[in-house]
Structure 1
């Protein structure tokens, strides 16, 4: 009896006072009401007060009202006391629409007795009135009279307290709409996930893999941890996620960094920031370590700092990429700008940095909404990148087709030239030989005429032999059947040996052929290819040098190379002719001083074999001033 009387006294006292305080009135028209503005609040910094302490009449002045429908105290070890008065003619439900609260105690009087109900994230799920994100308590009907209740809240997470009172009908109706934003969010996320999963399977690029991992982790962090959907995963998982959910946020940002560096090509666009972000992944390990060590407030504070630094870094990197004309970075920039703004608004509302913001239930939805917009923009960024990549692939294919077409045309040109060589340059000398043999067989020529014609026969045979050799070597080179095998060559005897084979050809045109090669010069080249180069250059020089002219084969040695040249004082040529001779794809030839014919094939072979031996053919000439053909090869 002595125990009951004080409670009756306080009940009567608060009943009297409640008529002067805001009262929550539930009815058929107002079956669900958020009551943050209608409650009195007190922050117990030492978390030592009991219900008896806060019910004392002298303590009531410490309670204060709040202008928003929700109250947030940030990360604190303090306890929060809430007092409210309600009027209802039927059962009433108190709903706390936030899942990550460690401990909630409800106190009220019924039939003169104080009732206490404990709940929170650490309470077994089976003890919850409804197994949904958040917490609910059943209050007795007040029979139309004001009735008081008190709540004590304490948590290792951020202390956010959204309160509502509802009748049974209002409670069921609220369940339909309470998570409508989250259900829409899940629909958007599933569409984005499967769309980008299909592209990843098709393209197999890391960008899509990192995006999918980031998408899953961020959605899991927002829905399962922040919005409390972990209650559907069973007692063990629900408790684990509530205690370690911040670690999922850290992992989410790790994938965000990998996606950013891969998508924006941080190694190319911002190498210094790339190093910073890679190092920052080590910082993201700290929240995980704090979680494992049981220090949740420290983990939350570190992740809050990361939540601002990382989006700012990503935005800066996207701006740099945009300035370097990487168009998909525009969507990336918009995505992280949206998320950064939502984080700033959420933080400002929760911590009351901007008191004019109407802190309420909408702040729970800002992260899912902003996240859906961000994920959509990132998906558009990937789509834009794919379109750019496809455009580049088409351009590359067109370029390759153009080059192949050009090569085919050049190949057809070469084929036509080869057929021309066979049909004209080889057939004419062979016809001449055939005619001479017919005349000999018919004994239509005298001994003197046969002697005269022997020179023509010799020249025809020499022309045919040279042309056939050049055609054979050129064909083999085009099929990559000729290997270049460099070896040491003593230049002086090598050149003299070649010159000795040209005494007859030079004697026919009274050309003076000499060599200017110092003894002891050793070069590194393929013996057969160098032989063919010198012979073809000498053949050209003899062809275009008039009777009584001079040809000089010489060299200009330097420390590492030797420049070999064949110089004549013949007809010379203009720049247009030089350009035709140096063309990679055409055979150019003109008649010599004695109407000597040519194919242009020998000079093409010279250019290719000179290149194989590490040199480049150069021509110094002018009309009427002779010509010098030169190239350099390595010196030993």
Structure 2
């Protein structure tokens, strides 16, 4: 271990009924700058452990009242003291005693008369393990607090921003519907349209953020039910007709009467919403987005095809990987966060399906996902 250890931060309890041994050990370890406590018999040792709370115990095996083995057994039986490492000091060299020592929880042995260098090395070894453990515990606690703080922050961001954003979104929708360009002039109408679009984007980004966080911290359960996928996707398309209309994009649908699948309705809506929103975002004005729903080889497949800017090969490699978090700009310079697709992949997988895409730069992309049919 290459950890910097400051000996003065660690206390060692020396337990031996021979006073000269205690003094010798005390001098050796004080020279190394360790804090020291001492005890001259087993009972005193147990009292000192409670009072001094040592980081390491050097424990003589042969003592008149309680043997070192008995002291160790009592310490190990108490959860408060069970973790304190023990090095036995022993004149016994028989294998049976060493085995017994390890059975009662010894961390190490030093035989008397002891070699000074060996003693110091063994003490440092145990202390470095204690130090490493302390570091792990404090880092774990720090991490726990950081994660708890982050999760709180995420949900505050997503929850508390959603309702004001929702209100702004409704107001802008109302204004657009009630203020034709003839009334307020082309320029103002265009600004209003832009503001409306931005609000829609921010709202869906917030929604994605909230769902992604919930999904990542395991707070989102998949609620499986039998649903008509055609109906679910159509309800999402209806919402996007206005946004598509503003960009003069026609959404075309190819579908059977119904496809009954088993999945989570909210998650599937989120996936359809993200794929459709991306298709519109990356489509050129006046083009068409085709939404296809079909059953292929026993699974339901939904694909969304656009004739937009497409994704180059470099970009294609980066999509759908959490670590690259890739984003590009739409045809009106709308920015994608890349989060939407990760969320789609997560949700589709949770529903037992797959997400994939094909794309050609300059020609457009097709994003598809599959969902198991109702059994």
TM-score (norm 1): 0.35
Mapped partners of 2:183, 2:23: distance in 1: 103
1:241-297 per-position Cα deviation (integer Å, ceiling 9, x unaligned): xxxxxxxx797344234268x85xxxxxxxxxxxxxxxxxxxxxxxxxxxxxxxxxx
1:373 is aligned to 114
SS at match of 1:570: coil
Q: Secondary structure at the match of 1:541?
A: helix
Q: Does 1:551 align with 2:286?
A: no
Does residue 306 of structure 2 align to residue 568 of structure 1?
Answer: yes
Contact 2:311 2:360 in 1 (8 A): yes
Give the secondary-structure state (helix, strand or coil) at the position aligned to 2:114. Answer: helix
State the match for 1:391 in structure 2: 132
- Give the root-mean-square deviation of aligned CA atoms: 6.0
The CA deviation string for residues 297-322 of structure 1, in whole angstroms up to 9 with x for no partner, is xxxxxxxxxxxxxxxxxxxxxxxxxx
CA distance in 2, matches of 1:624, 1:407: 44
Kindly tell me: are residues 419 and 503 of structure 1, through their superposed partners in 2, closer, same or farther at Cα, counting changes over 3 Å?
closer
Q: Deviations over 1:143-181 (max 9, x none)?
A: xxxxxxxxxxxxxxxxxxxxxxxxxxxxxxxxxxxxxxx
- Which of 261, 275, 297 is equivalent to 1:522? 261
TM-superposed deviation, 1:531 = 0.8
1:258 aligns with 2:103: yes
Q: Distance in 2 between matches of 1:258 and 1:465?
A: 67
Larger radius of gyration: 1
CA distance, structure 2, for counterparts of residue 578 and residue 419 of structure 1: 35
Counterpart in the other structure of 1:486: 224
Match of 1:319 in 2: none
The offset of 1:571, in angstroms, is 0.9
Distance 1:613 1:461, change over 3 A: same
Residue 474 (structure 1) aligns with: 209
Task: Tell me which residue corresponds to 1:205.
Answer: 83
Moved more, 545-554 or 530-539: 545-554
Match for residue 364 of structure 2?
626
Contact 2:355–2:367 (8 Å) recurs in 1 = yes
- 1:531 matches 2:269: yes
CA contact (8 A) 1:549 1:569 kept: yes
The alpha-carbon distance between structure 1 residues 556 and 400, as it changes in their structure 2 partners (threshold 3 A), is farther
Change (3 A) 1:417 1:535: closer
Q: Superposed, which structure 2 residues align to 1:328-367 within 5 Å? A: none
Segments of structure 2 that go 5 or more residues without pairing to the other structure are 1-17, 26-38, 58-74
Give the 3 Å change call, closer, same or farther, for CA 418–573 of structure 1 in structure 2: farther
**Aligned partners of 2:369, 2:259: CA distance in 1, in Å?**
19
Pick closer, same or farther for the CA change 1:596–1:374 going to 2, 3 Å: closer
Q: For residue 373 of structure 1, give the secondary structure of its aligned residue in structure 2.
A: coil
Distance 1:519 1:206, change over 3 A: farther
| Residues 1:477 and 1:543: Cα distance change in structure 2 (over 3 Å) | closer
Alpha carbons of 1:466 and 1:515: their partners in 2 closer, same or farther (altered >3 Å)? farther
CA displacement 1:110-138 (0-9 Å, x = unmatched): xxxxxxxxxxxxxxxxxxxxxxxxxxxxx
Question: Structure 1, unaligned stretches of length 5 or more?
Answer: 1-181, 223-248, 264-330, 336-369
CA-CA distance at 1:628 after TM superposition: 3.4
How do residues 163-312 of structure 1 correspond to structure 2 at under 5 angstroms?
198=54, 199=56, 204-205=82-83, 207-208=85-86, 211=87, 252-258=97-103, 263=107
Deviation at 1:536, TM superposition (A): 1.9
The offset of 1:623, in angstroms, is 2.2
* Secondary structure of residue in 2 paired with 1:629: strand
Change over 3 Å in CA distance of 1:608–1:375 after alignment to 2: farther
- The whole-number CA distance in structure 2 between the counterparts of 1:562 and 1:436 is 36
**How has the CA–CA distance of structure 1 residues 588 and 382 changed in structure 2, closer, same or farther, with 3 Å as cutoff?**
same
1:617–1:630: 8 Å Cα contact kept in structure 2?
A: yes
Alignment of 1:423-442 (within 5 A): none
Q: 1:510 to 1:473 in 2, by over 3 A?
A: closer
Structure 2 counterpart of 1:137: none
Q: Distance in 2 between matches of 1:552 and 1:544?
A: 15
Structure (1 or 2) with the greater helix fraction: 1
Cα offset for 1:432? 11
- Determine if contact 1:192/1:379 at 8 Å carries over to the other structure: no
Q: In structure 2, do the counterparts of structure 1 residues 432 and 514 end up closer, same or farther at CA, with 3 Å as the change threshold?
A: closer
State the alpha-carbon separation in 2 of the partners of residues 376 and 534 from structure 1: 70
Q: Secondary structure at the match of 1:624?
A: coil
Partners of 1:192 and 1:376 within 8 A in 2: no
Normalised to the residue count of structure 2, the TM-score between the two structures is: 0.53
Secondary structure (helix, strand or coil) at the match of 2:310 reads coil
Contact 2:154 2:213 in 1 (8 A): no
